[in-house]
Amino acid sequence: MYDRIKSIYHFELNESMSIEGNQSARKKSLKQLGIFFKSLRALKSSGNIMSKLPELLKAISDKQVNVKVKSLVEDMTDCRDGLEEDWNLLHCAGCTSDGDDSSLPNHPSSDLEISTLVKQFSSLLDCLPRPMIVTLARSSLDDYCPPSKVEQVQNLVVEQLHDKYQIIRMYEEYAC
């Protein structure tokens, strides 16, 4: 099922378009899919969905995506087994993929990119009032951040906080 969703939400950069053009095209396709799945959620019953499906599919301009979405919806309403579909969850899952071979994290950052991002974070801190307390959350168990990079990211962020605020006490607690 996830492979089918990934193929529906697949997006390839058009090299002949500008970055802004590609962003606009991607935003348009995600908006169309979002509207479509929101409409399915509002209809609730499979009978309503199947009777309105041809009309709802008009929201999706890409014909190949349209065919894939139609097939997915038909299959999901056929094999319900008394369970209610979560169309919003399907849309959210699709939004986390943008290629046939991508999975989160979509782009493992290089050491230089991480360092640059932390420096940008530091300039954001300049715009904020001095905090009374700072809490950092590590993304170490969900594969969002590659396990080999978690300590590096944390250390760079803590270093920036020390430089900005001269942190007096730091407590580390790691929950599983």
Cβ-contact 73, 43 below 8 angstroms: no
CA distance 20 to 17: 8
- DSSP-derived 3-state class of residue 112: helix
Q: Specify the amino acid at residue 47.
A: G
DSSP 41: H
Whole-angstrom distance, CA of residue 110 vs CA of residue 28: 30
Cβ atoms of residues 84 and 53 within 8 Å: no
Which two three-digit tokens encode residue 135?
A: 């809490």
Question: Using CA atoms, how far apart are residues 38 and 18, in angstroms rounded to an integer?
Answer: 30
Query: What span, in angstroms and rounded, lies between the C-alpha atoms of 165 and 129?
Result: 11
DSSP annotation of 81 reads T
pLDDT at 105: 44
**Residue 23 has what pLDDT?**
87
Domain ranges within the chain, ordered by starting residue: 2-95, 111-165
Tokens of 14: 């058009």
Give pLDDT < 70 ranges for the chain: 79-84, 98-107, 143, 175-176
Continuous H helices in the chain? 2-9, 19-43, 46-56, 63-78, 87-95, 111-126, 147-165
pTM: 0.57
- pLDDT of 155 reads 92
Return the structure tokens found at 53. Answer: 């499906």
